Amino acid sequence: GDGLVLLCFLAIFFYYTAAIAFDTGDFDPQTEIKSMPLPIALLRVAVGLAGLVLGGWLIVANATLIAQQVGISEALIGLTVVAAGTSLPELATSAVAAYKKNVEIAVGNVVGSNIFNIFFYLKIIIFFEG
């Protein structure tokens, strides 16, 4: 029951977000999106994905190693490293958006991510524990 309620809230959040995106009226894809050749776009996506995977692996591996050397428990290591590993890409996106003066993207990224995490992952936890 609780998981279904959270899943319904997630669906409402997706609907609300889509409605805002389509109702603004001032969005013109032809002027907002820069065109680039497909090979360059694919190369950028591949490099970004590789950097994301490599950076996440480096953060998790080194944070775990440091925490083990300090003597922190495995449970605490798991909680903090997973939290940091999932939050760093969002932090990087928000930092770049703020640097480019796109405050709305930075705030929306943080708020949207937290709402999604609460409604989706908490629903999964309730499902497996219930």
Which of 129, 44, 125, 55 lies closest to 92, judged by CA?
55
Which of 120, 121, 124, 122 lies closest to 11, judged by CA?
120
User: Which carries the bigger pLDDT value, residue 38 or residue 113?
Assistant: 38
Q: What are the tens digits of pLDDT across the range 114-125?
A: 777 676 666 666
User: Which carries the bigger pLDDT value, residue 12 or residue 46?
Assistant: 46
pTM: 0.49
Helix ranges (DSSP H) in 1-130: 2-23, 29-32, 38-70, 74-99, 103-116, 122-129
Q: Please tell me the predicted confidence (pLDDT) of residue 129.
A: 64
Q: What are the tens digits of pLDDT across the range 72-96?
A: 877 777 777 767 776 777 777 778 8
